[in-house]
Amino acid sequence: MTIKIEHQPSQENLEKLGVFTWPIWTKEVSEFPWTYDESETCYFLEGEVIVTSKNGESVQVGKGDLVTFPSGMSCTWKVNIPVRKHYQFG
């Protein structure tokens, strides 16, 4: 299961996806397990996170990243800098 990351996507692409109409989620510095029942695409407005999948692969994502997490993925989120992101499931 692969996490798809687009660093600094174009404003045009973000508007085409409708990112700025999606809900906003925030999270303080913390660490927690998470499983994706469906895929999630999100755009980080603020923050920095290290996401580690069950097989031990880690990625760092944060401000300016457009990220898609696959359905069925189990991972641990380590929020190093408080997060504020737009998100959409499905």
- Quickly name the fold that domain 4-89 has: Jelly Rolls (2.60.120)
Measured between alpha carbons, how far is 71 from 7 in angstroms, rounded to an integer? Answer: 21
Give the pLDDT of residue 70.
Answer: 96
Q: Which amino acid is at 90?
A: G
Residue 64, Ramachandran bin (φ over 0: left; ψ between -120 and 50: alpha; else beta): left
**What pTM was computed for the model?**
0.95
Section 52-69 average pLDDT: 96
CA distances from 10 to 15, 25, 35, 89, 90 (A): 9, 21, 29, 21, 22
Section 60-78 average pLDDT: 97
Domain ranges of the chain: 4-89
Q: Tokens 């407005």 correspond to what residue?
A: 45
